[in-house]
């Protein structure tokens, strides 16, 4: 069985006290402390034998693990974090169904989902540390530093929904933010194809101009993407674009804001030049930009 399906099926079958144990372990880990059966039994007012049995059971279900050489310490993993996030969303009626995987990135998995009101949503679970040390380094540079990958994943989700909540009301074409819990971000589901997969376009000049306009609108709203490329732009069947994947955004007051903005524009401009033969001087684009947003 696929891991997320297995986890989704556990949302309704775990007991209240099992959720309490996982939540307590999470709080302890956030405070830099490890969980042992003794500590958990004491803080939850439960018998030691009972807690030991429960941890063994959770371990068998691969929801907790015990690092080698660390005695009786137990830790959460991405599966239990998924479970806690799904539990929160389902308790609030925000997510009633989870469906197929619609995207896999280096740092996240994205699934289709359904809300209590019947809207289709994208459910993104951050998995920082799964691959690419390089990108993790960039997260650190963005002030997201944390040795702990679960904490980094939560911070990335927080940063991403924060950007979407600023940008969406300003009319920047981004997925509409719905809900964030832990390392999970729920947004509107976008029907579209990644720009990098598109071989021909009826009017590439116009699309490039519209993307540049969105980057400017985001800048005016106080947000620079910092990872903009043809891999993070979806093109809808009616030819509109949606910019996704915002966890590493910075404000225009960031010391490296200008070079990040330049890199974003260069990535897009050089892609349009190579793929569609559309030439747009980066300096010209930036020239129109640097007067806004406090840069
Ligand atoms: N709201 C959405 N609706 C539909 N598909 C989406 C949505 N968000 C993401 N996707 C799909 O999932 C893929 C990965 O998403 P995203 O770029 O946000 O994750 P990522 O792990 O940060 O990617 P990477 O690190 O590889 O750039 C996208 O390329 C896209 O195909
Ligand atoms: Mg991406």
Q: Residue 222: inside a domain, yes or no?
A: yes
Atom 26 of ligand 1, nearest CA residue: 105
Q: Is the CB of 244 under 6 A from ligand 1?
A: yes
Identify which ligand lies nearest to the alpha carbon of 124.
1
Q: Give how many domains the chain has, as a whole number.
A: 3
List the single range of 122-136, 193-207, 212-226, 229-243 with lowest mean pLDDT. Answer: 122-136
Asked whether residue 75 falls in the same domain as residue 110, the answer is no
What is the domain extent for residue 62? Answer: 3-79
Read off the CATH number of the domain in which 212 is found. Answer: 1.10.510.10
**59 vs 53: CA distance, rounded Å:** 10
The residue among 155, 170, 188 that closes a domain is 188
Please tell me if the CB atom of residue 110 comes closer than 6 angstroms to any atom of ligand 1.
yes
Q: Collapsing DSSP states into helix, strand and coil, what is residue 58?
A: helix
Q: Is residue 275 in a domain?
A: yes
Would you state the structure tokens that stand for residue 27, as one six-digit string?
């709080």
Strand arrangement, sheet containing 184-188? 97-104, 108-114, 120-126, 184-188, 177-181
Which atom of ligand 1 approaches the CA of 187 most closely? Answer: 1
260 Cα: distance to centroid of ligand 1 (angstroms): 20
What's the CATH code of the domain at 179? 3.30.200.20
- Residue for token pair 């619609």: 102
Strands (E), 172-232: 177-181, 184-188, 193-194
The whole-number pLDDT of residue 143 equals 28
Long-range contacts of 115-123 (CB under 8 A, 24+ apart): 115/178, 115/186, 119/188, 120/188, 120/189, 121/95, 121/178, 121/186, 121/187, 121/188, 121/189, 122/175, 122/186, 122/187, 122/188, 122/189, 122/190, 123/95, 123/98, 123/184, 123/185, 123/186
Residue 134 has a pLDDT of 45
- Residues 79-104 have a mean pLDDT of 95
Q: How many residues are listed for the chain in this entry?
A: 295
**pLDDT at position 292, please?**
56
Residue 205 CA to ligand 2 centre (angstroms):
23
Q: Does residue 176 sit in the same domain as residue 218?
A: no
Residues 68, 99 within the same domain: no
Model confidence pLDDT, tens digit, residues 241-286 = 999 999 999 999 999 999 999 999 999 999 999 999 999 988 888 8
pLDDT score of 145: 30
Closest-approaching ligand to the CA atom of 191: 1
Residue 237: pLDDT over 50: yes
Same domain, 207 and 184: no
Residues 241 and 184 in one domain: no
Q: In this structure, what token pair is assigned to residue 189? A: 């589901």
Q: Is 233 part of any domain?
A: yes
Please say which residue of 79, 102, 133 terminates a domain: 79
Task: Note whether residue 295 is domain-resident.
Answer: no
Minimum CA distance residue for ligand 1 atom 10: 103
Which residue lies with its CA nearest to atom 31 of ligand 1?
103
Check whether residue 221 and residue 276 sit in a common domain: yes
Tell how far the Cα of 106 is from the centroid of ligand 2, in angstroms.
7
Distance 192 CA to ligand 1 centre (A): 11
In a domain, 84, yes or no: no
| pLDDT the model gives residue 47 | 98
DSSP 73-99: -BEE-HHHHHHHHHHHHHHTTS-SEEE
CB of 194 within 6 A of ligand 1: the answer is yes
User: How far apart, in whole angstroms, are the C-alpha atoms of residue 256 and residue 261?
Assistant: 9
Whether 88 maps to a domain, the answer reads no
169: its two tokens: 């009301």
Atom of ligand 1 nearest to the CA of 227: 27
Whether 68 and 146 map to the same domain: the answer is no
As a whole number of Å, the CA-based R_g of the chain is 22
**pLDDT at residue number 2:** 86
Confidence check: pLDDT of 135 > 60: no
Q: Whose CA is nearest to atom 21 of ligand 1?
A: 105
CATH number assigned to the domain comprising residue 66:
1.10.10.10
In a domain, 99, yes or no: yes
Give the residue-averaged pLDDT of 92-104.
Answer: 94
* Same domain membership, residue 278 and residue 207: yes
- pLDDT at position 290 is 64
Catalytic residue ranges: 227
164 touches 173 (CB < 8 A): no
Q: Are residues 172 and 205 in the same domain?
A: no
pLDDT digits (tens, 9 = 90+) for 142-162: 322 333 789 999 999 999 999
Q: Strands, DSSP E only, in 78-189?
A: 97-104, 108-114, 120-126, 177-181, 184-188
Question: Which of 131, 160, 188 is at the close of a domain?
Answer: 188
Q: Which ligand is nearest to the CA of 193?
A: 1
pLDDT beyond 80 at 227: yes
Nearest CA to ligand 1 atom 16: 245
The mean pLDDT of 224-252, rounded to a whole number, is 98
Residues 108 and 148 in one domain: yes
What is the 38 CA–ligand 1 centroid distance (Å)?
41
- 123 has which bridge partners? 111, 186
Q: What pLDDT sits at residue 293?
A: 52
The reply to whether 244 falls in a domain is yes
Q: Quick one: 173 and 199 in the same domain?
A: no
On whether both 16 and 50 belong to a single domain, the answer is yes
Q: Is 37 in the pocket of ligand 1 (CB under 6 A)?
A: no
pLDDT at 291: 59
Average pLDDT of the chain to the nearest whole number = 91
pLDDT tens track for 160-181:
999 999 999 999 999 999 999 9
Rounded Cα gap, residues 40 and 107, in angstroms: 31
């Amino acid at each position: 069985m696929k891991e997320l399906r297995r986890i989704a099926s556990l949302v309704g079958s775990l007991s209240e006290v099992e959720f309490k144990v996982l939540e307590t372990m999470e709080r302890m880990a956030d405070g830099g402390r490890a969980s042992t059966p003794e500590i958990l039994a004491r803080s939850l007012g439960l018998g030691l034998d009972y807690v030991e049995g429960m941890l063994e059971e959770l371990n068998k279900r691969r929801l907790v693990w015990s690092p080698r050489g660390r005695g009786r310490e137990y830790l959460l993993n991405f599966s239990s974090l998924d479970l806690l996030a799904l539990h929160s969303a389902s308790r609030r009626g925000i997510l009633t169904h989870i469906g197929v995987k619609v995207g896999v990135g280096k740092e996240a998995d994205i699934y289709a989902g359904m809300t209590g009101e019947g809207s289709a949503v994208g459910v993104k679970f951050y998995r920082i540390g799964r691959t690419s040390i390089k990108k993790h380094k960039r997260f650190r540079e963005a002030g997201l530093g944390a040795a702990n990958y679960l904490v980094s994943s939560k911070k990335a989700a927080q940063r991403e929904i924060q950007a979407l909540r600023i940008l969406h009301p300003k009319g920047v074409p981004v997925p509409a933010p719905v809900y964030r819990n832990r390392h999970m971000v729920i947004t509107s589901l976008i029907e579209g194809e990644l720009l990098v997969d598109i071989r021909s376009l009826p009017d590439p000049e116009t699309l490039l101009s519209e993307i540049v306009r969105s980057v400017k609108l985001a800048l005016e709203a106080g947000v620079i993407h910092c990872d903009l490329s043809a891999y993070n732009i979806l093109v809808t069947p009616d030819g509109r674009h949606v910019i996704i994947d915002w966890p590493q955004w910075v404000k225009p007051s960031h010391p490296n804001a200008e070079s990040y903005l330049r890199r974003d524009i260069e990535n897009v401009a050089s892609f349009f030049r190579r793929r569609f033969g559309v030439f747009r001087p980066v300096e010209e684009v930036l020239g129109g930009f640097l007067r806004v947003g406090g840069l």
